[in-house]
Structure 1
Amino acid sequence: MRVVDSFNLYRLLFCMQFHGVGARCLNIRAGMEIPDNKPLKFALQYIHGIGRARAAQILSELNMSNKLAMDLTRREVVALDDVLSKYVIGRDLAGLVDRDIKRMKDIQCYRGIRHVDNLPCRGQRTSTNARTRKGSQRVAVAASKKLKK
């Protein structure tokens, strides 16, 4: 029987299969997974709060080339985890945004009222657009014509 070190065993635990197609993920921090088969620049963007610019900044901070996430060594994973711990990302960021929106609703500011009414709160027009925020409930005009007869 071959002895498997704990790091590779840890990686194998996060290997899942859906209908014969394997999806492997590398677990960076608690609850944050990035796909193994993508370059690191794009794999980091799967974490909530990291976009293109932040991913490029993290890679330049680590002086790391844009290689596949599965090719990372233990040291590189630990260094990546240390750099990611400096940023507010993932569930922490989502909780922070939720608290900010709740505070705006509580103090009844303009943006808070717009959030409560489920309308856009950054100055967008609502007479013709904002279908995503307002929903697609449309009033039938033909019903009012029938009543007039």
Structure 2
Amino acid sequence: MARIAGINVPVKKCIPFALTYIYGIGITTGNKICDACGINKGKRVSELRDEETEKISNFIRQNCVIEGELRKEVSMNIKSLIELGCYRGIRHRKGLPVNGQRTHTNAKTRKGRSRLPIAGKK
């Protein structure tokens, strides 16, 4: 495992895919980081030199919100929605889907396990 921006990323993957192991960086952002740093996208993390790794880390530190800061920002946004009492905040508070999905048959993951006993066979 190589360390980029304080996170262990897999060595055998191509750089844009390896960067997705960092919370807040997806494929598109990984590709943009490679372009900005002038690194070949097909290159594996194990093939990176130390200065290239440092260049990627510095670019991420300066231009991206990642890991703890991003998690904190997202949770603060959710808390503010809940405090406002808007529709999305109420859905967050109740633990229901927020973006208008149906709940009659779906949303088992978001709603959780049902607490009603199931009648057995006789």
* TM-score, reference length from structure 2: 0.87
Q: Deviations over 1:77-98 (max 9, x none)?
A: 1110121111011111111101
Report the RMSD for the aligned CA atoms in angstroms.
1.7
If asked which structure has higher relative contact order (CA below 8 Å, sep 6+), I would say 2
Q: Deviations over 1:108-140 (max 9, x none)?
A: 111111111000010111111111101131645
Deviates more, 1:111-120 or 1:132-141: 132-141
- Unaligned regions of 5+ residues in structure 1, if any? 1-24, 144-149
Within the candidate set 12, 21, 34, 1:59 is matched to 34
- Unaligned regions of 5+ residues in structure 2, if any? none
Other-structure match for 2:106? 129
Over 6 Å off, 4+ runs: none
Matching residue's letter, 1:37: K
* TM-score, reference length from structure 1: 0.72
Q: Percent identical across equivalent pairs? A: 36
Within the candidate set 79, 93, 114, 2:55 is matched to 79
Aligned residues: 118
Other-structure match for 1:50? 25
